[in-house]
Structure 1
Amino acid sequence: MTDKDRKYETLEPNQFPLSLKESPLAPPLLYYRGNLPASDCIGIAMVGTRRPTSSARELCRRLVKSLQGTQAVVVSGLAQGIDYYCHEAALDFGIPTIAVIAQGLGVPIPGDRATLARRIIEAGGCIMTEYEEDFPSFKGNFPARNRIISGLSRATILVQSKSKGGALITADYCLQENKLLIAVPGDFDSEAAAGPNKYLDQGKAKPVFVPESLRTVAGLPQIKTDSEAPAAASLSQIEAIGCNLSSEALTLFKQFNGFKKTFQELQNECNLKSTNILAILTELELSGLVETPDNFQFYFNGAT
């Protein structure tokens, strides 16, 4: 095959994204089809079971949508279930996505995943692998593939998983590289929540209680131009916006308007549970009244 006939590109180690270049688990070479994300993009791995719950698609959509307006690129494995839902949501919300597969790029992808792969490429994303063009998919390929998913990413989100499964391998690689592991907690008797709950119980993962707060938990600043920088809201502006806020959110915002607070400070100064504070902060963020540019402090409408 000549270079002209080849339907993929190669990526040498010195061309890897920084997060993968610095990883001790990096492969010697990568093959890809499509377009690589911009160099300033931040990989966010989103993984989970192939047999998720009936509500998983909507959960994935809400998690992915929260990444809009950031430099995030969704990284996953193009498997059925959680992987599929996250890639699909990224496409629907205009977020770049990379699919890392456990076979060569010349090997057909079965079923509706082939359609999804085409959509990813057409939308400007890419399909990536460490395997040569005609290398088939074997069971043993998947754990190796998962280390690349982790390597490409700043953080890994474990959405749903049983107590054992491939997604947990990705989570373990994430921890091995001292990267941020985020888990979605679930009912203690839910089989699909056993994996995330295990890491949360062990203190190895950071929880995301409200899907819309994922951007904050992952430490992704909102992309903002200087002209969009907020100013402290006047009382009349607060009242006008407040008609669309819950009473709890309006009360909290009035209390801290013009200030910046850490989450610990909010816990100390508010007579509210942590989960309630997170829900209120998410509501205020979605209303444009709170920002978290550094992931450590919450800026209440222009506090500096």
Structure 2
Amino acid sequence: MTHKDRKYMELAPEDFPLALSQSKFMPKRLYGIGTLPEKESVGIAMVGTRRPSNSAKELCRRLVKSLIGTNAVVVSGLAQGIDSYCHEAAIEYGIPTIAVIAQGLDIPIPGDRATLARQIVDKGGCILTEYEKDFPAYKGNFPARNRIISGLSQGTVLVQSKLKGGALITADNCLQENKPLFAVPGDFDSEVASGPNFYLDQGKATPVFIPESLRLVAGLPQVKSNDSLCTAPSLSQVAATGCTLSPDALRLFKQFNGFRKTFPDLQRECNLKPVNILAILTELELAGLASTPDNFQFYFNGTP
């Protein structure tokens, strides 16, 4: 795949998709082929080893399938193994997907991954890179690529990984930005479960015990019902009514938009005093941008 046979994009920071323009890992520029996701989309990074278990493909299918009906975009790195399985599952279930590559767009992608890259673009996704058209895939490019995968996403799922590997770089980048990290537990003697188990043992990740529960564990609301979108107001619609949000409320909403969070989650992830969080939640609820059925779990369901 090259830019010559697909729609080629050169993106400035203000045009970066998903959460990347607010990320500390924001690159100076991006190049892409394909279609950028809608503004209300939520990036979910799904990463792991190039040499997963025999059951990994089905695991990835079930994880990704759980995201049907949400605003999720599956973000990964187009590598063999877990990355490719997640991209393939996203295509299968009609979920947008973004592949971030560690080379220029004119450099041929080897093997079956070239076919997968074309399928991603054909199905409404895109391929992104920070490297110019003819820049080769040097070894040092891959850790840099991983920071963009994390930067695009509002949460990361560590599917299967050894104790060393690029997927752990993405996981660490996720934690550096205080974004939620999710991990699939595995057998104690499974090498490809050692990475997820490590983060779970350290209390740094939330477990996804049942693949079909990823949507609920990640707090992603169902925004599509009978093929129609729910009518949560957008920030622009709220502003049109004359309602002005405080800077802290606006910042918190943008950080958690599209997610379900408990009050302890909010205390841990937004670094504000409880009394200030309560005031912000009240402000967002009055604006129609947040709701809670039990005063413990809070849904941030609006769109930018």
Letter matched to residue 146 of structure 2: N
Q: Cα gap change, 1:167/1:4 in structure 2, threshold over 3 Å: closer, same or farther?
A: closer
CA distance in 2, matches of 1:34, 1:293: 39
Q: Give the RMSD, CA atoms, in angstroms.
A: 2.8
The 5-angstrom pairing of residues 1-304 of structure 1 reads 8-17=8-17, 19-224=19-224, 297=297
Letter matched to residue 189 of structure 2: D
CA distance in 2, matches of 1:130, 1:200: 32
Letter matched to residue 203 of structure 2: G
CA distance in 1, matches of 2:119, 2:32: 15
Q: Answer yes or no: is the 8 Å Cα contact 2:18–2:42 preserved in 1.
A: no
CA distance in 1, matches of 2:202, 2:124: 38
Aligned residue pairs, count = 238
Partner secondary structure for residue 160 of structure 1: coil
Q: Cα gap change, 1:47/1:228 in structure 2, threshold over 3 Å: closer, same or farther?
A: closer
Letter matched to residue 193 of structure 2: A
TM superposition shift of 1:298: 11
Partner secondary structure for residue 106 of structure 2: coil
CA distance in 1, matches of 2:68, 2:293: 14
Q: Cα gap change, 1:200/1:4 in structure 2, threshold over 3 Å: closer, same or farther?
A: closer
TM superposition shift of 1:223: 1.1
The structure with more radius of gyration: 1
Partner secondary structure for residue 182 of structure 1: strand
CA distance in 2, matches of 1:4, 1:137: 19
TM superposition shift of 1:5: 9.2
Q: Answer yes or no: is the 8 Å Cα contact 2:18–2:43 preserved in 1.
A: no
Deviations 1:114-159 (A, max 9, x none): 0000000000100000000000001100000000000000000000
Letter matched to residue 74 of structure 1: V
TM superposition shift of 1:171: 0.2
CA distance in 2, matches of 1:35, 1:166: 26
CA distance in 1, matches of 2:54, 2:69: 28
CA distance in 1, matches of 2:112, 2:295: 37
CA distance in 1, matches of 2:178, 2:298: 25
TM superposition shift of 1:228: 9.9
CA distance in 2, matches of 1:6, 1:228: 30
CA distance in 1, matches of 2:294, 2:221: 7
CA distance in 2, matches of 1:18, 1:212: 24
- The alignment-based identity, stated in percent, is 75
CA distance in 1, matches of 2:165, 2:293: 35
Q: Answer yes or no: is the 8 Å Cα contact 1:220–1:295 preserved in 2.
A: no
CA distance in 1, matches of 2:191, 2:134: 36
Partner secondary structure for residue 10 of structure 1: strand
Partner secondary structure for residue 19 of structure 2: helix
Q: Answer yes or no: is the 8 Å Cα contact 2:17–2:37 preserved in 1.
A: no
TM superposition shift of 1:17: 2.8
Partner secondary structure for residue 216 of structure 1: helix
TM superposition shift of 1:224: 4.1
CA distance in 2, matches of 1:53, 1:102: 25
Letter matched to residue 92 of structure 2: D
